[in-house]
Amino acid sequence: MTSANAARLVEHGTPLSVEQVELPSPSDDEVLVELRFASVNPVDRYAAEGKVAADGPLPRTLGQEATGFLDGAPVLVAGEGLGAKRDGVFASAAVVPRTAIHRLPHNVPLDAAAALGVVGLTAWRVVELAEVRDGDRVLVLGATGGVGQSVVSYAASKGAEVWGQTGSRDKADSVTEAGAKQAVIADAAGLADAVRDFAPTVVIDPLGGEFTPSALLALEPRGRHVLFGTSAGPEAKIQLQQLYRRQIQLRTYAGLIATSEERREGIASALEQFAAGRLRITVGRRVPLSAMNDGFAALGDRAVIGKVILEVG
């Protein structure tokens, strides 16, 4: 049997335990992949806390997406219940379903590509859902986050003028470096006034809470608002007359309910844009597998711009 170093969830609400595990022999519909980098996502931390996939097996290896090599060729491994319904990819090697394998071009960086299965897919999907096109004015909320950085770059590649919101003046430069014309430093209460002259035609919103009604207020008539997260809060009060009288279109995206086919098609599209340089993934911090719990802490304190990447191989 093959052994691997892996970050294991032993009990919900406790730090992960990095230990050596024996991997099972692959079945006919599985393969053994040597892994190099894994992406640390908020949903992985929620799984560790028991907030999602609480009925998954224990102990188990966490991690939804990673890059590495299969028969010497670079691959992305993502989806198919990894880290939730079965052992994931926070490990130096893993046995995974063949359907979780996505071939990578040799010229893409493996550390950034490790985030294509969640961040890349989400950024591609929400920009397409918003129908961003040349001439649009796009406001990206949470523009220093992993998805936000990628959304800024992809929306700008379509010819849109992009402004990116952040609550931290210290992070403003990263917004323009990702492709935005301007960084908007504002909280929810000041957002509408801060972008009034911009008059966005599209808002990409991973924040929710009071940011959502403020952004809806700022939208141009017939504007499109895509909501795909609630990191600022799950509830908000929305003035319905403002929506229908100005024909605002409120659209939503939830990656957790995507089918396997939808996920594979979306990852393929995100990979195409990534390889062409139109969709960027910002790696903000690389953490060794032995310090896995530091990666979760970095997500919690929101000190990282872009993605936390785990060095697993």
Task: Say yes or no: 134 and 152 in one domain.
Answer: yes
pLDDT for residue 1: 62
Indicate if 228 and 248 belong to the same structural domain: yes
Residue 165 lies in a domain: yes
194 shares a domain with 160: yes
- Return the pLDDT at 299: 85
CATH number of the domain bearing residue 302 = 3.90.180.10
Q: How many other C-beta atoms are found inside a 10 Å radius of the C-beta of residue 45?
A: 18
Shared-domain flag, residues 110 and 137: no
3-state SS string for 146-181: HHHHHHHHHHHHCCCEEEEEECCHHHHHHHHHCCCC
Quickly count helices (H) and strands (E) in the chain.
10, 16
Whole-number pLDDT of residue 293 = 94
SS3 category, 103: strand
Profile the chain (313 residues) by mean pLDDT over runs of 10 residues: 93 96 96 98 93 93 98 96 96 98 94 97 98 98 97 98 96 97 98 97 98 97 97 95 96 92 96 97 96 90 90 95
Same domain, 186 and 206: yes
Q: Looking at the structure, tell me whether residues 231 and 139 fall in a common domain.
A: yes
Q: Do the domain assignments include residue 131?
A: yes
Helix (H) or strand (E) holding 263: helix 260-275
Question: Looking at the 3D structure of the chain, how many domains does it have?
Answer: 2
Same domain flag for 20 and 91: yes
Q: Are residues 47 and 172 in the same domain?
A: no
Residues 250 and 293 in one domain: no
173 & 250 share domain? yes
Contact (CB, 8 A) for 23 and 92: no
Residue 261 located in a structural domain: no
Structural domain includes residue 260? no
The region, left, alpha or beta by phi > 0 then psi within -120 to 50, assigned to residue 216 is: alpha
pTM: 0.94
We report the CATH number of the domain holding residue 153 as 3.40.50.720
Does residue 246 lie in a domain region? yes
**Residue 237: which domain range?**
119-255
In a domain, 267, yes or no: no
**What is the C-alpha to C-alpha distance for residues 145 and 306, in angstroms, rounded to an integer?**
5
Has residue 272 been placed in a domain? no
DSSP 117-151: IIIIHHHHHHHHHTT--TT-EEEESSTTBHHHHHH
Both 181 and 292 in a single domain? no
Place of tokens 């071009």: 105
250 and 292 both lie in a single domain: no
Segment (H or E) for 112: helix 110-113
